[in-house]
Chain A
Amino acid sequence: MIKSLDPRITRENISENNTIDPLTPMDNWETYEVFHQKKRGDQHMHVGIVHAPNPEMALLFGKDQYGRRGITANIWVVKTANVFCTEYEDQDMFETTPEKQYREAGGYKVMDKINKYKKAQKA
Chain B
Amino acid sequence: MKTEAIKELLYKMADDLLIIGHRNSEWTGLGPILEEDIAFSSMAQDKIGQSQALFQLLHELGEQEPDTVAFMRNANQFHNAQFLELPNGDYDFSLMRHFLYDVADQLRFEMLANSSYEPLAKVARKVKGELKYHVFHANTWITKLGAATEESHVRMQTALNDSWNYALGLFEEGPFEKQLAEEGIFEGEAALQKRWLETITPVLDKATLTIPAASTWEPKLGGRNCFHTEHLQPLVEEMSEVFRVDPSAEW
Contact = CB atoms under 8 A, between A and B. Distances in A.
Q: CB atoms of A and B under 8 A apart anywhere in the complex?
A: yes
B155 interface: no
A7 B23 CA distance: 12
Interface residues of A, number: 18
Nearest to A9: B30
A35 B11 CA distance: 41
B144 to A, nearest CB: 7
Given A7-B238, A60-B39, A51 B34 contact: yes
Nearest to B28: A8
Contact of B87 (A11, A29, A53, A61): A11
Given A8-B30, A11-B87, A61 B38 contact: yes
**Centre residue among B35, B39, B238 by max chain A CB count within 10 A:** B35
Given A11-B87, A28-B33, A64 B38 contact: yes
A70 to B, nearest CB: 14
Contact of A60 (B30, B34, B137): B137
A61 B136 CA distance: 12
Contacts of B26: 8
Contacts of B136: 60
B165 interface: no
A92 interface: no
Given A8-B30, A53-B144, A54-B144, A61 B35 contact: yes
Contacts of B35: 50-52, 57, 61, 64-65
Contact of B133 (A28, A53, A57, A63): A63
A40 interface: no
Interface in A47-71: 50-54, 56-57, 60-61, 63-65, 68
A68 B130 CA distance: 11
B58 to A, nearest CB: 28
Contacts of B141: 57
A28 B140 CA distance: 18
Contacts of B238: 7
Contacts of A11: 87
A62 to B, nearest CB: 9
Nearest to B241: A7
Contacts of B38: 61, 64-65, 68
Nearest to A65: B38
A33 to B, nearest CB: 14
Contacts of A61: 35-36, 38-39
Interface in B8-67: 26, 30, 33-36, 38-39, 42
A56 B30 contact: no
A28 B37 CA distance: 13
A63 B34 CA distance: 14
A56 B133 contact: no
A77 to B, nearest CB: 12
Given A56-B140, A61-B38, 20 more contacts: A7-B238, A8-B26, A8-B30, A28-B33, A50-B35, A52-B35, A57-B35, A57-B140, A57-B144, A60-B136, A60-B137, A60-B140, A61-B35, A61-B39, A63-B133, A64-B35, A64-B38, A64-B39, A68-B38, A68-B42
When A and B form their complex, which 9 residue pairs have the shortest distance between CB atoms, in order from nearest? A61-B35, A64-B39, A64-B38, A64-B42, A56-B140, A50-B35, A8-B26, A60-B137, A65-B38
Interface of A: 7-8, 11, 28-29, 50-54, 56-57, 60-61, 63-65, 68
Interface of B: 26, 30, 33-36, 38-39, 42, 87, 133, 136-137, 140-141, 144, 238
